[in-house]
Amino acid sequence: MTRPAQPCDPPGEDTDVLPRARGPRHRRVHRSKRARLLAGGRLLAGLATVLALAVTGMGWAGYRSLAGGFITSQALAGGPNSAAGEQNILIMGLDSRLDQHGNPLPQAMYDALHAGDESVGGYNANVLILLHLPAGDGPVIAISIPRDDYVDLPGCPSQVCKGKIKQAYGLAYQETMEDLTDESTAESGSSSTAPGNLFADEQAAREAGRKAQINTVRALLGVPIDHFVEVTLGAFFQIAAVAQPITVCLNDDTADDYSGADFRKGVQQIDAAQAMAFVRQRRDLNDDLFTDLDRTRRQQAFIVSLMAALRDGGAMSSPSALRNLVRVAQQNVAVDADFDLAGFLDTDSALTGRPITLYTLPISEFGQDSAGEDVNLIDVAAVRSIVHNLFTTGSPLPPSPTETTPSAMPEVTAVLNVVNATTREGLATAVEDAFTAQGFTAGEVSTADKLADASTIEFGAGSEQDAAVLAERLQLTAAASDEVAPGTVQLTIGADFPTDDYLSSDGTPIFSPLTDQTATAAIDPVDATASGDQAPAPTDLTRMTDDGIPCVR
């Protein structure tokens, strides 16, 4: 088995140093088969296998017979969940040129991908899309997180505590793989790993990567993640190959030697290899202002176009092609163990007929970290406010003043105990002080015996209402516990906790996060398909709908 040479972008020597800002970057009921097809398609390329099962009519029994071939993960075990009826699904697209088992892809696929071979790339999560399905039959919201956003990395994988959000996976993968190699060397006296252990080591390292990436996204956005789908380049290419030709639209002629992109202005049909260039292009020989954020909007446009292709049937109506897609997906897709894909698809209200709106989160400006790497500097409070508003009202804008919830917490009287299960010293005290200032009675502050990935809230008898207030403020769930004293609420701070809201990088407590989410200045979304003077700037919050084939830069 061949592993990538680099699991992630090389981190700087001191990635905790505040990055330098820089100017704009000038480079680099029974449903019909069609209804079921549409439902699967709306879960993007990551649910290629579900799509196949829906179209071929294999149903639950067919899924059961194939399910053993899919990689499932426990990376979400024990994490917080969304409110009843809601679902947040994180789609992670890996830069790895290997399949889910760590094996190289067929050479013909490398040739078509125009992206090197198995020795190129690593384990960056280059695509991060959070899919929000509200309760009932409301519209679906997909939020793209720019991959170079400079954020805290919970747990400091590979001793890197701050970096690009896409790096969390690779850094944790690298750290785990090194630990496993050290253990093997200590036991056998040799640095070589037995072939039988390679697969186990690969899966353990990937599991660590998934957990780190999920925790990083959860900590940045401040929302639960209920399920995830992890996709490699191979899965993306294969679903494009089954759905081709795919209709896309561009606002201008564009070309790029790195990705192999060479497209003309207007509506056109592309094949699978061209689709890879379409979604991977981040430079333009004709446009110095083309950036990585335009690449993100390209990915969204492709998703909408792919959905249109799925609606129209065509090549996707071939059962044999879709059965082949299932086999490919088994090599290139991983999901959390609790995600009942077939059951999800069998739920009429899950996706069928629901419109989808795609957003790209804004950045404040381009900058560089201490190693000179280009990064996106972001306003974390603004990002969380946008996500919070989208998930609660369907709009990124805060409610009108008459609808705004007062910033003060409802009256609370319970004792609050805070347990620090992270590596940040002083965090529990800062959180305790922040919430006692809001009415809680100061309780015990302590350090957990072991680190925790997910934050939790538990309450004793008589404190359910106060626990619910805290849970709503922190967007967590509260659970009763006989081990917590009556009249007491216990908050255990895990790696997913929004640390920067309470403790600055130098350890100074911050008391500002308890104001209402709507206090952040409103950021109006820009049409992702606008052109000319109305075209979105690289830093804008953009919005795209699934109504027709979108034209993008």
Q: Among 23-37, 283-297, 317-331, 516-530, which is the least confidently predicted range?
A: 23-37
One domain for residues 365 and 226: yes
Whether residues 368 and 242 share a domain: the answer is: yes
Ordered strands of the 365-368 beta sheet: 20-21, 365-368, 374-377
39 or 121: which carries more pLDDT confidence?
Answer: 121
Domain of residue 341: give its range. Answer: 20-378+548-552
Mean pLDDT over 332-350 rounds to: 69
Residue 530 lies in a domain: no
How far apart are the C-alpha atoms of 359 and 383, rounded to whole Å? 12
Residue 313: predicted pLDDT: 60
Indicate if 45 and 120 belong to the same structural domain.
yes
Do 347 and 450 have their domain in common?
no
Q: Is residue 522 part of a domain?
A: no
- 444 and 320 fall within a common domain: no
- Residue 506: what pLDDT? 63
b/e for 421-435, b at 16 or more Cβ within 10 A? Answer: bbebeebbebbbebb
Q: What is the reported pLDDT for 299? A: 87
**Is the pLDDT assigned to residue 146 strictly greater than 90?**
yes
Over residues 141-160, mean pLDDT: 92
Inside any domain, residue 219: yes
For 188, list phi and psi in degrees, rounded to 5. Answer: -105, -15
How much of the chain, in percent, has pLDDT values that exceed 90? 33
With respect to residue 529, please indicate whether it lies within any of the assigned structural domains. Answer: no
pLDDT higher than 90, residue 318: no
Query: How many domains in the chain?
Result: 2
109 has a pLDDT exceeding 70: yes
Same domain, 352 and 421: no
Tell me what pLDDT residue 551 has. 94
166 and 87 both lie in a single domain: yes
Q: Is the pLDDT of residue 333 over 90?
A: no
Higher pLDDT, 360 or 311: 360
Report the pLDDT averaged over residues 294-303. Answer: 88
Same domain membership, residue 363 and residue 487: no
Residue 125 sits in a domain whose CATH number is 3.40.630.190
Rounded to whole angstroms, the Cα distance separating 69 from 440 reads 50
Range in 7-16, 201-210, 535-544 with the lowest mean pLDDT: 7-16
Pairing of strands 365-368, 374-377: antiparallel
Judgement on whether residues 315 and 365 belong to the same structural domain of the protein: yes
What's the pTM value of the predicted model, to 2 decimals?
0.75
Establish if 320 belongs to a structural domain.
Answer: yes
**Cα first-last separation, the chain:** 39
pLDDT of residue 100: 66
> Do residue 239 and residue 373 come from a single domain?
yes
| Residue at 268 is within a domain | yes
According to the model, what pLDDT value does residue 116 have?
61
| pLDDT tens digit sequence for 533-542 | 899 998 999 9
- pLDDT exceeds 90 at position 421: yes
pLDDT of 123: 86
Residues 349 and 443 placed together within one structural domain of the fold: no
Interatomic CA distance for residues 305 and 433, integer angstroms:
50
243 and 165 share a domain?
Answer: yes
Across all residues in the chain, what is the average pLDDT? Answer: 78
Is residue 316, in this structure, part of any structural domain at all?
yes
CB 332 within 8 A of CB 234: yes
Residue entry with tokens 């075209």: 535
* Residues 6 or more apart in contact with residue 171 via CB below 8 angstroms: 7, 8, 11, 153, 157, 158, 160, 163, 212
For residue 97, is pLDDT > 80? no
**Phi/psi zone of residue 280: left (φ > 0), alpha (ψ -120 to 50 degrees), beta?**
alpha
For residue range 370-414, list pLDDT tens digits in order. Answer: 889 999 999 988 898 899 889 888 888 877 654 444 456 688 999
Name the least confident of 31-40, 291-300, 336-345, 434-443.
Answer: 31-40
Which residue has better confidence, 254 or 48?
A: 254
